[in-house]
Amino acid sequence: MKKGILFDLDGTLWDSSEQVVRSWNKCIREKAGRSEQITSEFMRSQCMGKTLPEIAALIFPDVEEAERLRILKMCSEDELDYLNSLTDGLPTLYPDECEIIKELAKDYTLGIVSNCQSGYIEVYLSQIGFAECFADIECEGNTGLSKGRNIRLVMERQGIDECVYVGDTQGDANAAKEAGIPFIHAAYGFGKADSCAAVLDDIRKLPEVVKTLL
């Protein structure tokens, strides 16, 4: 029986909020010619884990939908270029993440499922030095599907029979429920969540927690 662990990205595997905010604010100011500016705290607490249309509505509530989506598309494109250009000041990984992921990859099929735009997970993989540990990735930007359906998609592609999803927000918990698998709340991340099979206050405890569920 094939067992898997699928991960959310932001607030679960890394924190790119400062870098993303820096890029988005510049784009909003210089390319969109608007005065709205966001903070890292706003990004972490209100935006991470949501789809781009949802984020656009939060930042530009009084702007016509097509226009705010156009602005967010520009922000997303600039964000990928900016993150790919960084040689220092990279997004933050969590303590001993490399060692933990390598350990888990020996016994489980690992993957990443996010609500992000196309190309964002690939930026993470290009910067971490242990990308080979992840067998599959998927995102809303690629498929247009909900996170729960993307979880099932990855499970089907990889032939995973038993799986858990690790994430840090209620949206992640809802996605795991939609996919019909247990949810591990990464409480060290950005958000709160109910209906958790387990709560994780440190990513270094993940191998021990997973053993109780799979």
* Mean local confidence (pLDDT), 67-85: 94
Q: Report helix, strand or coil for 109.
A: strand
pLDDT at position 49 is 78
pLDDT at position 48 is 82
* Mean local confidence (pLDDT), 156-182: 97
d(CA 22, CA 28): 10
d(CA 36, CA 27): 11
**What percentage of the chain exceeds 70 in pLDDT?**
100
* Whether the Cβ atoms of residue 29 and residue 37 lie closer than 8 Å to each other: yes
* Mean local confidence (pLDDT), 34-60: 90
Burial class (CB in 10 A: 0-12, 13-18, 19+), 197: middle
pLDDT at position 140 is 94
Is 51's pLDDT higher than 90? no
CB count in 10 Å sphere of residue 179 = 23
pLDDT tens digits for 87-141? 888 999 999 999 999 999 999 999 999 999 999 999 999 999 999 999 999 999 9
pLDDT category at 9 given cuts 50, 70, 90 is very high
pLDDT at position 94 is 96
pLDDT category at 203 given cuts 50, 70, 90 is very high
* Mean local confidence (pLDDT), 14-21: 94
Closest by Cα among 13, 7, 11 to 124 = 13
Closest by Cα among 1, 2, 12, 213 to 112 = 12
- Beta pairing partners, 166: 7, 184
The CA-based diameter of the chain, rounded to the nearest angstrom, is 55
pLDDT category at 195 given cuts 50, 70, 90 is confident
Helix (H) or strand (E) segment spanning residue 14: strand 14-15
pLDDT at position 11 is 95
**What percentage of the chain exceeds 90 in pLDDT?**
92
pLDDT at position 210 is 97
Which one-letter amino acid corresponds to residue 173? A
